[in-house]
Chain A
Amino acid sequence: MESNGGSTSRRAAAERIRRAIALINAVADEAGDEEITPTEIAEAIRDCLELSEVDRAPNVRRYLGEALDAVSDGMPADFVAMTLYAALGALREGA
């Protein structure tokens, strides 16, 4: 059984990961008028890492860490997106 607090914070974590995915997808699709910087994307991923919920499902924190490394190393946006989708999926699997 899971408390409402658990599912609420999981939803919050999923929401933050989705926000990071939206940013990186915008970079991948070259959409929008304003340029999104790697710093903004890294910040969005760090926001996810701040939530304790990411430790409640296996590997979520590690995928987010991989995504952050990929941003720092200048990896392609699609690759970062793949790692973030993996984090989101791992969060879902842990539900």
Chain B
Amino acid sequence: MVIEHMPERHSASVVLMFAGGSRLEDERLAGVSHFIEHLYFKGTERRPSSKEIADAIEGVGGFINASTDKELTAYWARVPSEHMDLGLDVLFDIVANSRLDPADVERERMVILEELRMYQDQPQDYVQNLFEELIWPDHPLGRDIAGTEESVSRLNREDILEYADAHYRLPNLVIGAAGSLDEERTVVEVRQSLSLRSGLNGTTPALSPAQLTSPRVLVRRRDTEQAHICLGARALSYMHPDRHALDLLNTVLGEGMSSRLFLNIRERLGLAYDVHSFTQKHRDTGYVGVYIGVDPKKAVDAVNAVMGELRSLRESEIAPEELARAKEFTKGRLRLELETTNGVAFWLTYQELLLGGIKTIDEELALVEAVTSADVKRVADDVLSAPLQMAVIGPFARDSAFRLAIGA
């Protein structure tokens, strides 16, 4: 358990973060972590419906929610500080005593199937799923967190119970709390109220994805008004010592309206309305990607312009003032994230669960500050020389021009 006392705040937040999200699911169980996360809000013995769970927290003006990721599942509540015990009680109740009623399983299955179909109707999101399929082919990391229509249709209550029993255990859990709270009392409350079982049973270790050996293009033909394109390459894990240099590279390339992609592709060339870059990091892998939303006629031209920006990062060091701007951007964003008790609780819990130790904000900021232009160029050279992968959604009958653009 990790706790940050923030006496000047009026709220307290608590996060229950379990190791193991969609990455640990084989094809048969694809989507089960996400399914369980939904079902845990449907009712417990003491609070038999989702309304009673929501009422308990919202009745004091608080918030409760959860999210499933590829390597973790998190349940959280943010409440006025005097109701911290209630926040803990409701969260412990849903993760340890959920009824998983068969009727709720069937109802929620329909909801998740609709959720999966909804994403397919949102090409700017769906193209990222296709891109991740290319980045991690035939691997759980390359699959939608919510699973596939086939797997979600097939999962039964026994699968769900078995998976929940294996993963919702004490060794898989880190609890984070932040805000105006009594640390000793919080620890006592956790010891007394949390009834998850100790010892792991039936969990499997995460397998690393295979190497990518060649660039690939996947075009999904749709009669969309815009072309939606994601391209990028495998990059670094969150354990890698160069991860801060990668983050700064990403900031310079495509985060915000002063980034190179925004200024050159949108402002100077007028090629795309939305162009930005992003990273994703996991224990042993990651990627850096660029999204472009563009007039289909300008799609390949825009890809070529992005390729030019990627080449430029490899060819020359970024200027000191550009690096300084990127550092201030990164440091500022981290500070803003940690404005809320919820942000602090998540930050601490994430570090403890996935990194195995906690850095203070000053230590983290010092690591960002220590990155040099030469570091960014070295990382760009390393990461951007890997085989590029590109997913495209738009009215395209052929992929040849796209393949030419990335040398696939």
Contacts and interface: CB of A to CB of B under 8 A. Distances in A.
Contact of A63 (B297, B396, B398, B401): B401
A86 B305 contact: no
A82 B401 contact: yes
Interface residues of A, number: 18
Interface string A25-68: 00000000000000000000000000000000001001100100
Interface residues of B, number: 18
B343 to A, nearest CB: 41
Interface of B is mostly: helix
B336 interface: no
B214 interface: no
A89 B297 contact: no
Secondary structure at the A interface, as helix, strand, loop or mixed, is: helix
A83 B305 contact: no
A93 B305 contact: yes
Contacts of A13: none
Interface string A58-86: 01001100100010000110110111011
A71 to B, nearest CB: 13
A78 B395 contact: yes
Nearest to B405: A86
B304 A89 contact: yes
Nearest to A83: B401
B296 A88 contact: no
A70 B301 contact: no
28 contacts: A59-B405, A62-B404, A63-B300, A63-B401, A63-B404, A66-B400, A66-B404, A70-B398, A75-B398, A76-B397, A78-B296, A79-B395, A79-B396, A79-B398, A81-B297, A82-B296, A82-B297, A82-B298, A82-B300, A82-B301, A82-B396, A82-B401, A83-B401, A86-B301, A86-B303, A86-B401, A86-B404, A88-B301
Interface of A: 59, 62-63, 66, 70, 75-76, 78-79, 81-83, 85-86, 88-90, 93
